[in-house]
Structure 1
Amino acid sequence: MSTATGRIIKTYNGYYYVAGDDGQLYTCKVKGRMKQKRFIMAAGDRVELEARGTEGMIREVLSRKNLLQRPLVANLDCLMAVFACGDPDPSFLLVDKLLALAEAAGIPAALVLNKKDLAPEGLVAQFQSIYEPLGYPVFPIQAREGLGLEPILEQVRGNTVAFGGPSGAGKSTLLNHLDPSLTLKTGHVSSKIGRGRHTTRFAELLPFAGGYIVDTPGFGNIDLSELQMENAAAGFREIQQRENGCRFTGCTHTHEPDCEVKAAVARGEIASSRYASYCTIRQELAEQKKRGKKS
């Protein structure tokens, strides 16, 4: 028996499939002491295991840099939020929910605007003016024609990246243009580890451009149960940056006087769409908490 390290690329029916640093794919179970800790392991986790042939026992999960709760995936280098400029029209609220999810989890994020040829005049510029000053790159593309993809490929090369967005945004078309062999890789992994056809609720890592693409079923329709944060401000970096300027500790930035966040909105320093998303998310989180207490 030997010791190996690697990354979990899929969990299924109590088994963990680990891409070893030695190039071997290991089918693993968990050692008893790990079960006693009740430690939840995720796709993307780096692990140490005891190996015998192609089978192994995971004995330790190495330190994580981040964890996305739903879908459950660890150690992401980037979350790409993919939206169409038209057919379907983009939702600023859904954009902000996806970015809030990444922000709360400590995951760098970028915004991909597909079908830029369908964008009403000024839409792309509006997105760029709102999100790029906050540190979120905006990539306008036409995935079907393969236009504008080079900056995205450079962003994800060698990294572990999740692509999420609503149905119809063109995520699959984008991925196939970025790496035409991705479909073949998906089929290869499927036959080797028994991947169902979009039946799993769990994330899966697929080899991509020297790193991994995270296949995240059900990732497009974000609800607030997926936003693992104590308060809405945790998902908005521009609000967090100004909270100390508010008169009252614990200011909700909704009705209190002398609120620096509301003042920044009035000055045009915080986009009104972002503030509206913050208020909506804050209300939904409050309602979610009430339902949790009643159950």
Structure 2
Amino acid sequence: MEGIIIKGIGGFYYVKVKDQVIECKARGKFRKKGLSPIVGDKVDITLKNNKGSIEEIYERNNELIRPLVSNITQALVVFSLKNPDVNLDLLNKFLLQCELKKIKAIVCFNKTDLLEKYQDDKAVKMIKNAGYEYIFANAKKGIGLEKIKNKLKNNVTVFCGQSGVGKSTILNQLVGSEVMETGNISEKLKRGKHTTRHSQLVEINEGFVVDTPGFSTLEVKFESKEELQEYFPEFWEYENQCKFKGCMHYKEPECIIKKAVEENIIDSNRYKFYIKTLEEIIKGEKNKW
């Protein structure tokens, strides 16, 4: 039988097969290969004496480390426009991570009630300019949740974003129960107290969702500085239009990307993030020597 791992605890894996969930153990052959099943894996299982056994793990389309989950098709990148304010670099890091993992990103701007002219916020303008899909929400009042729910169908969606922005609140509202505990915002620290215990897939509207811990840093690694520009969708239409072949859109003259930034066609905050990341890669390459 073919299914998907929706939860794993203490060496037991819970596999959704059609309309039932079967508790399984993994065959020893995986341990010998150094391969462990993880949430999101598509697997073949056998059932003997009402005990399930994972026989095969299908090749993964992608894999995340934090949280440990595979085969994600899209990410709901949740940020609030106020309390906490949007950290643009962090938002861009999440988008960069999605591009690297070939995961479609949808940005959800939560807590819209805290900002009067939220449509004019610089973060909203940046996301719109970059061509990413976005949704406005007020999770506590249920605003925007129907749009989010419609996006979940036939997808495996990961919730990610800055701490304290309402990821778990949105999920709880969607499923109509306290699936994940929600942490309160610390008035002193202005950041969320993470209470999610483990990764699991929750079935919503014929799709699956995994709620991620609220963390504030991301490790994004590249093979070379040349590949970075591939992960900025707003650069794609200008490919090979610069004067110099292999232009890094950095210090080169007559660069079409820099011109687009000057003309406000490409958002300056996105470009600044690109340059900052590029310089970090260059510095890292120098340190290798």
Q: TM-score range by the shorter chain?
A: 0.7 to 0.9
The letter of the residue matching 2:4 is R
| Residue of structure 1 in register with 2:175 after alignment | 179
The letter of the residue matching 1:273 is N
| Residue of structure 1 in register with 2:146 after alignment | 150
What is the Cα deviation at residue 20 of structure 1?
A: 2.4
Aligned residues: 275
Native 8 Å contact 2:5 2:42 kept in 1: yes
User: Equivalent residues in 2 for 1:189-228 (5 A)?
Assistant: 198-200=196-198, 203-217=199-213, 219-223=214-218, 225-226=219-220
Native 8 Å contact 1:104 1:234 kept in 2: no
The letter of the residue matching 2:210 is V
Unaligned residue ranges in structure 2 (runs of 5+): 182-194
The structure that is helix-richer by fraction is 1
Deviating more after overlay: 240-249 vs 270-279:
240-249
Scaled by the length of structure 2, the TM-score of the pair is 0.81
- Partners of 1:170 and 1:184 in 2: CA distance: 11
Structure 1 pair 180–255 and aligned structure 2 pair: CA distance change class (3 A):
same
| Residue of structure 2 in register with 1:87 after alignment | 83
Scaled by the length of structure 1, the TM-score of the pair is 0.80
Identity of aligned residues (%): 32
| Residue of structure 1 in register with 2:99 after alignment | 103
CA RMSD of aligned residues (A): 2.9
The letter of the residue matching 1:146 is G
Structure 1 pair 90–149 and aligned structure 2 pair: CA distance change class (3 A):
same
What is the Cα deviation at residue 36 of structure 1?
A: 4.2
Deviating more after overlay: 157-166 vs 76-85:
157-166
- Partners of 2:106 and 2:271 in 1: CA distance: 19
The letter of the residue matching 2:97 is L
Structure 1 pair 167–229 and aligned structure 2 pair: CA distance change class (3 A):
farther
Native 8 Å contact 1:70 1:226 kept in 2: no
| Residue of structure 2 in register with 1:260 after alignment | 256
Aligned match for 1:21, one of 18, 21, 33? 18
What is the Cα deviation at residue 142 of structure 1?
A: 1.3
SS at match of 2:83: coil
Structure 1 pair 279–24 and aligned structure 2 pair: CA distance change class (3 A):
same
- Partners of 1:120 and 1:290 in 2: CA distance: 46
Structure 1 pair 271–60 and aligned structure 2 pair: CA distance change class (3 A):
same
Say yes or no: does 1:8 pair with 2:5.
Answer: yes
Native 8 Å contact 2:158 2:210 kept in 1: yes
SS at match of 2:91: helix
SS at match of 1:207: strand
What is the Cα deviation at residue 105 of structure 1?
A: 0.9
| Residue of structure 2 in register with 1:191 after alignment | none
Deviating more after overlay: 228-237 vs 135-144:
228-237
What is the Cα deviation at residue 113 of structure 1?
A: 0.8
- Partners of 2:77 and 2:48 in 1: CA distance: 40
Unaligned residue ranges in structure 1 (runs of 5+): 186-196
- Partners of 2:70 and 2:223 in 1: CA distance: 16
The letter of the residue matching 1:25 is I
Deviations 1:58-97 (A, max 9, x none): 3322243333343332222320111111111111111111
Deviations 1:17-67 (A, max 9, x none): 3222351322221341x3444345432111112332453333322243333
- Partners of 1:229 and 1:119 in 2: CA distance: 40
